[in-house]
Chains A and B, each alone.
Chain A
């Protein structure tokens, strides 16, 4: 914890950066939950939401890591509208990880919300 934390040049405090690092992999898993998507789509989908990530290129190393850890699988497919695309889908381990995180996140989020709201009344 840093009292009076200053933001770096992207407007991130160290705390926020840490929170993102923890949550972002699971957000990627969630994006893939119901259908496979190609990389550009994933990166684009996440960049639509404010507060999630500042620059989208940093998602590529994350995707590499998810592949290495066996949470996602990829396939290259030819595309009629342009260059071949790398499609991502969840592996069974990825699915289990997402389900577990969903539960953990809800518990954590509810507890933090309760305390943050309680402090204001």
Chain B
């Protein structure tokens, strides 16, 4: 193998590695084994630079190989297959379930949320922790006389608004994302 033949093959492999950076590591490794073996075969079976270029042309650009592999990857966004009604119920219960049936209402909402296939884990965590109890928490806090919480009334108002807005915003985001995925 002359140096230029060796260089061509090595450059091809380097191009492949660059193009395959976005693939999951296991797929990249598998494919690289095959591509490397193919390049070795080329190196062992041809002698001139022109022949190598010819063989590499027939192999095609590494980007095309990577694109073909990428087309075989399962799509990364979760695809909802469950009931839309259950999804909406989950969100509603998370928001106001604790008002309807104290604690249990919210818990049922949380269970439905986590059982649903519509959302990613991160989204489910958001729905669970912002806020636990939904808008019950700020409502209860608002019912307490102002003196029990050592808070300036204006600050209290701002806090109340934030505590009501946060779960509402999260609910809206989850619902919209759920719709978009259907």
- Which residues of A are interface residues toward B (Cβ below 8 A)? 39-40, 43, 47, 54-58, 60-65, 81-86
Establish whether residues A55 and B72, one from each chain, have CB atoms under 8 Å apart when the complex forms: no
Establish whether residues B38 and A43, one from each chain, have CB atoms under 8 Å apart when the complex forms: yes
Q: Which residues of B contact A39 (CB under 8 A)?
A: 34, 37-38
Establish whether residues B60 and A64, one from each chain, have CB atoms under 8 Å apart when the complex forms: no
What are 13 contact pairs spanning A and B, CB under 8 A?
Answer: A40-B41, A55-B59, A55-B61, A57-B65, A58-B68, A60-B65, A60-B69, A61-B31, A64-B72, A81-B44, A83-B37, A83-B44, A84-B37
Cβ-neighbour of B37 out of A55, A58, A85 (below 8 A): A85
Establish whether residues A64 and B31, one from each chain, have CB atoms under 8 Å apart when the complex forms: yes
Establish whether residues A61 and B65, one from each chain, have CB atoms under 8 Å apart when the complex forms: yes
Establish whether residues B44 and A64, one from each chain, have CB atoms under 8 Å apart when the complex forms: no
Q: Is the interface of A mostly helix, strand, loop or mixed?
A: helix
Provided the pairs A56-B58, A57-B64 are in contact, do residues A64 and B41 lie with their beta carbons within 8 angstroms? no
Interface size class of chain B, counting residues whose CB lies under 8 Å from the partner chain: 20 to 34
Establish whether residues B40 and A64, one from each chain, have CB atoms under 8 Å apart when the complex forms: no
Nearest B residue to A43 via CB reads B38
Provided the pairs A55-B64, A82-B44, A82-B45 are in contact, do residues A61 and B38 lie with their beta carbons within 8 angstroms? no
Establish whether residues B60 and A55, one from each chain, have CB atoms under 8 Å apart when the complex forms: yes
Cβ-neighbour of B68 out of A40, A43, A62 (below 8 A): A62
